[in-house]
Structures are given as C-alpha cells and as structure tokens.
Amino acid sequence: MYGTHSLHTNPPARTGDPIMKRTLRKLVFVEPKSTHLHVYSRVTIPRQGSVLLATIMRNKGYDVRVYIEDIHELDMKDVLSADLVGISAITSTAPQSYRLGDKVREAGGVAVLGGTHTSFLPEEGLQHADFVVRGEGEFAFQELVDALQAGEGFETIQNLSYLEGGRAVHNAERAKIPNLDVNPIPDYTLITGWKPGGVISVATSRGCPFSCTFCSVPGMYGHAFRTHSIGRVLEELALHKGNLYTFFADDIFTANKKRVKELLRGMIDKGLTPQWGAQVRTETVDDPDLLALMRDSNCFNVYVGFESINPRTLKLFQKKQDLAKIERSIDLFHKHKISIHGMFVVGSDEDDVETIHETTKFALKHDIDSIQFMILTPIPGSPDWDTLYAKGEKYVINRNWSFYDGHHAVHQPRRMSPYELQMAAIKAMGNFYSWKGIARKLMKRDIYYTTIRYWGKKMIRDWWKDDENRQYVAWLKNQLYTEAAEFKGRALKTVGLPEMLLQESVGRLLQRFLGELGVTVVPLAEAAVEGAASAASAAKQTALDCLINPIVKRAEQEREEFYARLSAVSATLASQWEKLPKVAFPVIDGQGPIFEPFAKIGLLFTKNLDRIRDAYKAAGVAEGLWEAA
C-alpha cells in the first residue's frame, strides 16, 4: 500500500506521436489542492504560476479559467470542456495531478503538466500528459499553444518535453528570464472563487543564492537572483491597495538588502503599506536600517527557515548559521514588533528524538509565535534527492508521492527509526500548539496568535482523525515491531552471530550494543565442510535463543567478495541452526550504522525504546563512531 507511487494506472489516452494541430479557444489552469499541514494552511496564498500563465493567455485573447483547489473545488464539467488544461504539480500533489491529466486526455483535451515535480521528472509526467513544460514556463507555454494552433513542430520550443514515436524528447533548457518585468501583473480575479480584499501574493524576485540541501528552489529557478523593478512592484501593490495582507512570494525576500530597503522606502512614501510578510533568513537582522524599515512599512511577520537548533544538522544542511544567530534574530525581530513563523526541518542524519523534543522547548522558551516542523523529505530537484532517493545512498522506505508533503516519514534516518521520527515530529507540533502555549499568548493579550495556536491544536487533532494518516503511522510502527511481535513470549538472553561479521565496525557495534542491553553474544565460526558433522554437534551443546542473520543489501564494488563470503557463511550457519529462530540484520556497505535495525533487535529483549536508544549511543561512543553528547 505504501511502497509504490500512488498513480493513476490506466494507460494514457494517446501514445506515439504528439498532437500536431489543434484549435484552441478555451484554456483552464489547475493548481491541485495542497497537502501541506501548517497553521497558515487556513489562509490560502496561491502560487503564482497558474495565475500568471492565465493572465498572459487572457491578454492574447483566449478564454481562460483558473482553479486553485484550496480556494474553490473543481467544476469538472467546466475543466473537461476546455481545449487545453494546464496542471501545476508539486511532489505531494503529483498523484492527483496525474489523475486529472488522464481524465483530460480521455475527454479529448490536451493536458500540459508543469511545476517543480514534473520539471525534474518529465518522463513520469509524460505518462499522464501530452506535454511537460519544465522550469520557468511563460515562454515555453506560449510557444506551445502557438505551435498547436499552427500545426507546427515542437523541436525548437525550449523547456518542452513530449513523446515522439513513443520516445521521450526533452528539448534544450531555456536561459532563465533576466528581466522579470516582461511578465504582466498576475490578475487574481481570474481565479474561480477569488475574493479581493484578503490575502494577496506578490513576487518581486526569483532564484536563491544559497544551497540548502533539502530545497529544490535553486534547481528550479537557479542561484542567480533576478528581480522585478521597484517601480513595477509598487505598481502591483497599488493595484491591490486595501487588501488585508500581502505575502511577498520571493524565495529570500531580503537577499539583496539594498534593493529591499529601496522598495520599502517606496512603499512608505506612496502609502502602500498593508500588513505584510515574507520569507527571510536570520542575517536580515544584521542590518539595523533594514529592520527599522520593515517595522515602519508595516511588516507583520516573517517566515524564517531556522531549520534546526542542532549545530551538526545546520552544518549538514549547509545552512551557514548557528544557534547564536538564531537566538539573536528572534530577539531583534521581536524588539521591532515583527512576529515570527519559525520553520524547522527534522530527521537529518544528525537528529534524534531528543533533538526534536528540545526544538519545541527552544521555540516555546524564545516565544516564537508560530512554527512548523517539516520532516526531511527528498524532493526532486533538491540535493537530498540525489543522496536520499535517486542514487539510493539512503534507504527510502516509501515511494508514494502523496506522502512527500513534509509530514510523513518517507526515508530511513540514521539516529532513529522512521516511526519514531513520525511520532516525534507530530508530538513536537502538538506540544507547541498546546493549551499551555495558547494560554501564554492569551496572557499577553495577543488575540491573533492565541487564535493561530488554537488553529494549530485543531490542525494536529484533525491530522490524527484522517484514516490514511492513522494507517500510515500504524504501518511505520509495524515495520519497527514486527520481529518483536513474532518472538512474543520467548525468553531471550543469548544470541549467536557470525564471527566474520565482527571484522566489520557495524558487527562490533552490534555486539557492544547487545552487551549494553545485558545480552550474551556468542560469535559463531563457519564450520569447515569436512568437519560439518562435528561442528553441528558442537552447536547443539551451545545454548542459544536465536541467531542473528546478516542480510547484505548492498556492497561497494571493491568489497563485493567479502560480503559474498559473509552471505555464504550466514547461509551455512543458518543451515546448522535450522531449528533456531533467526533475526534478519540488514547490512548496507558504505552507509554506516542506522539505528532502526539495532532497535528491531533490541526490542526482542526489552520494550523500552529509550533504553535501546541509550544502549545504541553508549555503544557508538565506545566504538569511537561518534562523540558523547
């Protein structure tokens, strides 16, 4: 159920050569419902791609509709009556995007997929669409529509992918748009169900100069920082004058501090100062003039990617900040009456359950106004995709895109099991959005964040009400406890493991780990062929409760011979001890120790996961694999 992509499996409506000519009048753009869980999910801030493309095509004379499912449900009759449907897919909405693409083609329309997910996995997208537009799509989409109208070929349209003769064709990459002012101001009135006067999104730039390992933004929009002119941004703000709140949809709003200060001065001079918020980094507070301008221009809140309070995790993420910077930024934002939405990523190779718990305590201690904990997820286009998923250097436990939303554990972390990561992340959110946290804001007479924290508490409760979420957690738990359940009722005190495994650090760690739990470990040597009978006889005289059987899942090329030998030894021992219960212990060469296999074995001897974790840490310190906490 949880190990494969949740994709529509019907065959595509069309295969072979692409559509060469089509009369297009009505275009519909769809942004499927987001699955992301955080307190601002109640306030929809639509991504700009669909609205921008619709505005461009409306200006060219087409009949256009925009459906953003977070704002208004799809009118399928209207959608399927379109000549062409453009669908924007992020990873967690890919399955529903694909299902919609299939339906559009079955109804005879042209399906075009875009967005971050299919930009990096176009061949997957082409199983459910006629075309995939990769990366920035403004020019590619216009050229595609023009080519369809004229019956021309597609080979010159950069950023376009399509099938030709059953083979995927990926045209060359297009240079990133240097001057964003070439695009029109997005017309939000094109969105079905849109109500002016509420929350509006304004993008003043694209691209991010940083390289956080979990982020796909540089892969999608590049490291180069490209901008709209100040005048163009002020013009757009003037069109939305009177709205309740403006979200600046830049990846890093304050990346160019000089430019932002000029923009904020312009907003103040022209009286264009609605309450606003934006994504920023901690170093924003290093500029006192910028902070003052943010306050004076009516900045209400900032969304800060703190990511972690664990120094080792920050280094792993290439975040280039430390705990002191984080604390200083919180203090200075609050001194300028700017609220903070703290964003944390949990589940790195350097995180454990205690780290996540301590992060909640940190957020409450420093009175971060609202938070979200995102479970580390290998999103296509991010560096983590290469190391966690595509290259297989880590064990990915789930390949269903629906769960790639930052709220489901889909990979094997190093220092805890996926089940513990899942539970710790949700519990941490629950501890923050608790009655105690709500009361703190109420005592300060902060009605807005009292409400936000109440929403957060309800959000966690609603998450647990969802049957699919509960089933997923139960599945994770089952992965951890299966072996222990099979051994239920057995008194286990002594285990045997291949002596050959002790030549490896992971084997020595396992032996010491079990010793920390008070388990007797008996190293078992392989019996020579000529002495098999005597070896078997000796084996019977050795009191063992179970046999640990290493299962080699992957070996580095230069060590294949050793691991092939280990597998042969394990098989021989298993045959000698055929009546003895056996426990599998996966070995992945070159990856280093991972906690969950140790935990599965530890649960045979104790139900106390805290004790197991302490034994694992103590064994690792004793073996010199990591420093003591």
Instruction: Provide the pLDDT for residue 448.
Output: 93
Give 195's pLDDT tier (boundaries 50, 70, 90).
Answer: confident
At 284-309, the pLDDT tens digits run 999 999 999 999 999 999 999 888 88
Instruction: Tell me the C-alpha distance between 607 and 319, whole Å.
Output: 37
For residue 538, the model assigns a pLDDT of 47
For the chain, percent of residues with pLDDT exceeding 90: 62
Task: Clarify whether residues 454 and 368 are in a common domain.
Answer: yes
pLDDT tens by residue, 45-55: 777 889 999 99
Task: Quote the tokens at residue 22.
Answer: 């089509």
pLDDT confidence bin for 21, thresholds 50/70/90: confident
User: What pLDDT is attached to residue 39?
Assistant: 55
Question: Looking at the domain assignment, is residue 2 inside a domain?
Answer: no
User: What integer is the mean pLDDT of 232-253?
Assistant: 93
Counting the structural domains of the chain, the total is 3
Give percent helix, percent strand, percent coil of the chain, each to the nearest 5: 45, 15, 40
Q: Are 169 and 163 in contact (CB under 8 A)?
A: yes
Residues 6+ away with beta carbon under 8 Å from 123:
161, 168
415 within some domain: yes
pLDDT-wise least confident of 112-126, 153-167, 309-323: 309-323
pLDDT value for 320: 73
Does 247 lie in the same domain as 368?
Answer: yes
Task: Please give the pLDDT value at position 35.
Answer: 65
The mean predicted confidence, pLDDT, of the chain is 88
What is the pLDDT averaged over residues 65-72?
Answer: 92
44 lies in the same domain as 146: yes
- What was the pLDDT predicted at 7? 44
Has residue 17 got a pLDDT over 90? no
Looking at 446, 478, 510, the residue that finishes a domain is: 478
Q: Are 338 and 370 in contact (CB under 8 A)?
A: no
pLDDT band at 317 (very low <50, low <70, confident <90, very high): confident
pLDDT at 219: 74
Q: How many Cβ atoms from other residues are within 10 Å of residue 80's Cβ?
A: 17
My answer on whether 413 and 460 are in the same domain is yes
Q: Looking at the predicted structure, is the pLDDT value of residue 167 above 60?
A: yes
User: Is residue 178, in this structure, part of any structural domain at all?
Assistant: no
Q: Confirm whether pTM is higher than 0.85.
A: yes
| pLDDT over threshold 90, residue 445 | yes
Q: Indicate whether 349 and 234 sit together in one domain.
A: yes
Phi/psi of residue 163, nearest 5 degrees: -100, 140
pLDDT above 70 for 250: yes
Residues 282 and 152 reside in one and the same domain? no
Question: Per the domain annotation, does 176 fall within a domain?
Answer: no
**Domain containing residue 603:** 489-622
Shared domain check, 314 and 403: yes
Q: Provide the pLDDT for residue 561.
A: 87
Residue 483, domain member (yes or no): no
Residues 322 and 462 in one domain: yes
> When comparing pLDDT for 296 and 577, which is higher?
296
- Give pLDDT, residue 580: 86
The answer to whether residue 185 sits within a structural domain is: no
pLDDT over 50 (residue 13): no
Which pLDDT value is given to residue 45?
A: 73
Lowest mean pLDDT among 324-328, 344-348, 381-385, 515-519: 381-385
CB 284 within 8 A of CB 329: yes
Structure tokens at 116: 């971050």
Q: Same domain for 96 and 161?
A: yes
User: What is the band of 517 on the pLDDT scale with cuts at 50, 70, 90?
Assistant: very high
Q: What are phi and psi of 16, to 5 degrees?
A: 90, -135
What average pLDDT score do residues 426-447 get? Answer: 94
Q: Which of 45-49, 127-131, 228-232 has the lowest mean pLDDT?
A: 45-49
Domain boundary among 415, 446, 478: 478
Is 144's pLDDT higher than 50?
A: yes
Q: What's the CATH code of the domain at 134? A: 3.40.50.280
Mean pLDDT, residues 304-326 taken together: 81
The 10 Å Cβ neighbour count of residue 591 is 18
184 domain residue, yes or no:
no
CATH assignment of the domain containing 569: 3.40.50
Q: Is residue 186 part of a domain?
A: no
- Could you tell me whether strands 160-164 and 167-170 are parallel, antiparallel, or unpaired per DSSP bridges? antiparallel
How far are the Cα atoms of 215, 281, 295 from residue 328, in angstroms, in the given order? 24, 12, 17
Q: Between 509 and 556, where is the model more confident?
A: 509
* Contacting residues for 452 by C-beta, under 8 A, at least 6 apart: 39, 369, 370
238 lies in the same domain as 312? yes
Predicted confidence (pLDDT) per residue in 109-122, tens digit: 999 999 999 999 99
Q: Tell me: do 455 and 544 sit in the same domain.
A: no
Asked which of 444, 478, 512 is the last residue of a domain, the reply is 478
Q: What is the CATH number of the domain that holds 415?
A: 3.80.30.20
Rounded-to-integer distance, Cα 66 and Cα 55, Å: 10
The model's confidence at residue 539, banded by pLDDT at 50, 70 and 90, is: very low
Return d(Cα 444, Cα 446) in angstroms, integer. 5
Mean pLDDT of 253-275: 95
**Is pLDDT above 70 for 165?**
yes
Write the DSSP symbol of residue 72: S
Residues 285, 431, single domain; the answer is yes
